[in-house]
Amino acid sequence: ILGFSTPPGRLSMMAFILNALTCALGLLYFIRRGKQCLDFTVTVHFFHLLGCWIYNSHFPSTLTWWLVHIVCTALMAAIGEYLCMRIELREIPLGSAPKSNV
């Protein structure tokens, strides 16, 4: 069903790309570490590969399937790492802590 020539194929590919974008936001919310984004992204896509393999009873062999998933893996990892690094590199406020009377 994945392909550039038919409207359902283009719609499926857009759904995969939107899923990668929303999962990148999930990495920001749940992981919050830039170094771990690639690990979690590859793990999620590996489990998706296993699920597709079990559901279809054969290993995915079409080129478009692999291209879409490689692009989505790279997109999810890159955007997730960018978002997590922005959070990690924020300035730490030093002057806003209350003074204690010791």
Q: What is the pTM of this model?
A: 0.81
The per-residue pLDDT for 90 is 82
The per-residue pLDDT for 102 is 63
The per-residue pLDDT for 4 is 77
The per-residue pLDDT for 6 is 86
Distance CA 32, CA 34 (A): 7
Residue pair 77/37 in contact (Cβ under 8 Å)? The answer is yes
* Helix (H/G/I), strand (E/B), else coil: 80: helix
pLDDT beneath 70, residues of the chain = 1, 96-102
What does the pLDDT look like over 81-98, one tens digit per residue?
999 999 888 877 777 656
Residue pair 2/13 in contact (Cβ under 8 Å)? The answer is yes
The per-residue pLDDT for 70 is 95
User: Whole-number mean pLDDT of the chain?
Assistant: 88
Residue 9 CB contacts under 8 Å (≥ 6 apart), including other chains: 1, 2, 3, 64
The per-residue pLDDT for 21 is 93
The per-residue pLDDT for 99 is 66
